[in-house]
Structure 1
Amino acid sequence: MWVFTFAHQHKMLLVCTRGLYKPVSVTGEVSLFACYHKTHALLRSEDSNIKPVVRRRRSVLKDLNKPVASDHERSAVSKTWRNEKPGLQTRDDYRVSSELRKLCLEDSEDWERPARQRSTQDSKADDYEIVFGIAPCVLALTQGRRKARKLFVKDGEASHRASVLKVCEEAHRRGVQVQRVSKKDLDKMSAGRVHQGVCLQASPLNYLTEDSATKRKDNTTPLWLVLEGVQDPMNLGAILRSAYFLGVDRVASSLRSSCPLSPVVSKASSGAMEVIGVYGYENLEDMLKLKVAQGWQVVGTVGAEAEERQIPVTRCSDFQMTRPTLLLMGGEGEGLSEKLLSLCQSLLTIPAGRDLFPGIESLNVSVATGILLHSLLSSRKST
């Protein structure tokens, strides 16, 4: 009887295993497949027990004593292997049918199409801005001055409020898509501002030009509000809201160093920016000279403690508006420029109701504008 040590047994197994790798008349894939399954358990780490190794060796030797498969059987096995493991086939052994190739191309196009659509949507989104708030969204939809693209509504119970439903109805009536989103998405769209559960993707609203001016229909003395260098969007929005409420005929603004007509302005105006006409001028000085030549009067504004000027300063409550008037309001801090002050025929001031401490002897520009507009429009006469 032959007595083998574990080292000799392991060596014989390796010799038998090498024999499995000799070229066979079947395809390379089948021989490798057989070698893998018959030697996977043998080529383990040295920590394996002796009995399992010997048991596997006997199974290998038993399989080697089997008769060699015929050419027909080997071809059948090779075909089965190709069908089960197509990923390991060579280009010559396995060919994709035209139908399957077409299906793969269609799938790849479906994967690529959303990316192309997103890029197209992103490029389109650059031409739009986000209007937020109930009143701005409703007026932006109803006035027709913007091109609305999509309405985003907060998902949940908030979408059932009457004010939100009104916005959705206006959007649906005009064929604007309505999409429910989370509050987090709306907060991101509105940059954390108060959106009241709705945001509207729409085209920007720009300053109007003289070419788009419309004729007045009533017989009252016209009043134009002229703004120079108002930069705070909250102030501009509040001014537009007061001007619309009190009945100003036109708001004119300098285009340089002034706040654009942004969604923040629209929200601060409670949507009045969507209704009232705001005209932009590159040169306010030329426009004022033209209106003076047409018989209009130019009225400026100064503080109660302003330095003495050759132009008379009148309390706003004592001023009577008897002819077409342009009321000039300066920006925050600096007020009216010297060029525009030189064109004024009268200066108005708002008297204080008490002795004021230094630093708080003036009013916010939007508050002052509201007081002056109310005073002038209350005194104007019919023409």
Structure 2
Amino acid sequence: MRRPRRRTPMPAPFRPKPDRDRPRREGARGDGPRQTSPRRADGTLHHRPGDIDEAVLYGVHPVIEALRNPMRRHRRLLATENGVKRLQEEIGDLPLEPEIVRPSEIDRLLTPDSVHQGLYLVCDPLPSPDLDSLPDDAIVLALDQITDPHNVGAILRSAAAFGAAAVIVTIRHSPAATGVLAKSASGALEHVPLIAVRNLGDALDELGKRGFQRIGFDSDGDTAFEDVTLTRPLVMVMGAEGKGLRQRTRELCDQVARLEVPGAITSLNVSNATAIALYAASRRR
């Protein structure tokens, strides 16, 4: 009987070791902020606020505001020659030495549709303050599982424009304060604290005990927002597009209001609705 021929195992394919000195690519698998959440359909990675150990900021306004923020610990700054000139015109002496690179060097660190304007900054995430730190006359936003980083960034920008004291998000089902969110916020991350909580319902319950008026927003709300008597402190609760406010969130609101719009389309993008609600609340002090 012929003995079977022993097969020689194939050698494992060569894989080069990663270059530890190379800047990490925002949005690439295994790179950028450490994360455990899955990749989105558009190719970006969904991070939770507690998952990241570094923040990637790009674009003129996010980088300038981060460099001006004494609370930020900056790690690495990549900039084109024009980018450095823009920073020096706006800031003067920079808090860290930039690495001068070609635009293509930053391009390869980001997704193709990212507009970096020649600036790319790696820094520590900002700390999440406690609910106890909110002042007694504050207007605060609470986001009920709004996961789109563009929307959350735009909401932060409106919050900074209208003087909101903070934006409350959940640790799960929220995008991280980096990359696309930071670019959409256009520097507002440095001015409006993000408070990450484990359970939004528990946070609303705690704020209610502190005397916060809790107003939820829904296109089918019981009362027009203009007819609601507002008091301070105030927390305005915004629901995710499509799903709206979750049941417990709705139950914990003192009132659920709607924004009256005169046109044919009565539903608004959540970031637009938030901007309108903030403007209306700021006018009724």
> Shorter-chain TM-score: what band?
0.7 to 0.9
Matched, 1:341 2:284: no
Q: Counterpart of 2:65 in 1: which secondary structure?
A: helix
Once the two structures are aligned, what percentage of the paired residues are identical? 28
- SS of 1:231's equivalent in the other structure is coil
Residue 43 (structure 1) aligns with = none
Q: Does 1:165 align with 2:91?
A: no
Describe the SS at the equivalent of 1:252.
Answer: strand
Q: Identify the residue that residue 78 of structure 1 maps to in structure 2.
A: none
Contact 1:319 1:376 in 2 (8 A): no
SS at match of 1:189: coil
Could you tell me how far apart the structure 2 residues matched to 1:365 and 1:290 are?
25
Cα distance change on mapping 1:342 and 1:167 into 2, 3 Å: same
- SS of the residue aligned with 2:98? strand
TM-score (norm 1): 0.58
Distance in 1 (alpha carbons) for counterparts of 2:279 and 2:168: 18
| Contact 1:231-1:257 within 8 A present in 2 as well | yes
Query: More helix per residue: 1 or 2?
Result: 1
Task: State the partner residue of 1:301.
Answer: 217
CA radius of gyration, larger in = 1
What is the CA–CA distance in structure 2 between the aligned matches of 1:335 and 1:349, rounded to whole Å? 12
Q: The residue matched to 1:367 in structure 2 has which SS?
A: helix
Report the Cα offset of residue 116 of structure 1: 11
**2:185 aligned with 1:264, yes or no?**
no
Distance 1:168 1:291 in 2: 38
Amino acid at match of 2:103: K
Q: CA RMSD in A?
A: 2.8
Q: Show CA shifts across 1:291-343 (max 9, x none).
A: 2222222111110xx2xxxxx72222233312322110011221110111011
Find 2:144's aligned residue among 206, 218, 228: 228
Which residue, out of 195, 198, 218, partners 2:116? 195
Distance 1:125 1:364 in 2: 29
| Matched residue count | 244
Query: Alignment partner of 1:327: what SS?
Result: strand
Instruction: Indicate if the aligned counterparts of 1:145 and 1:205 stay in contact, CA closer than 8 A.
Output: yes
Question: Relative contact order: is structure 1 or structure 2 higher (C-alpha 8 Å, sep ≥ 6)?
Answer: 2
Q: Secondary structure at the match of 1:177?
A: coil
Q: Distance in 1 between matches of 2:160 and 2:209?
A: 27
CA-CA distance at 1:167 after TM superposition: 6.0
- Is residue 2:64 matched to residue 1:138? yes
The alpha carbon displacement at 1:201 in A equals 2.2
CA contact (8 A) 1:132 1:200 kept: yes
Distance 1:260-1:125 versus aligned 2 partners, 3 A rule? closer
Compared with structure 1, are the counterparts of its residues 120 and 165 closer, same or farther at alpha carbon in structure 2 (3 Å cutoff)? closer
1:149: Cα distance to partner? Answer: 2.0
Structure 2 residue runs of 5 or longer lacking an equivalent are: 1-15, 25-30, 34-52
Q: Is the 8 A contact 1:233 1:264 kept in 2?
A: yes
* Alignment-mate amino acid for residue 279 of structure 2: H
User: Closer, same or farther in 2 for the Cα pair 1:121/1:317, shift >3 Å?
Assistant: same
Report the Cα distance in structure 1 between the residues aligned to 2:184 and 2:93, rounded to whole angstroms: 22
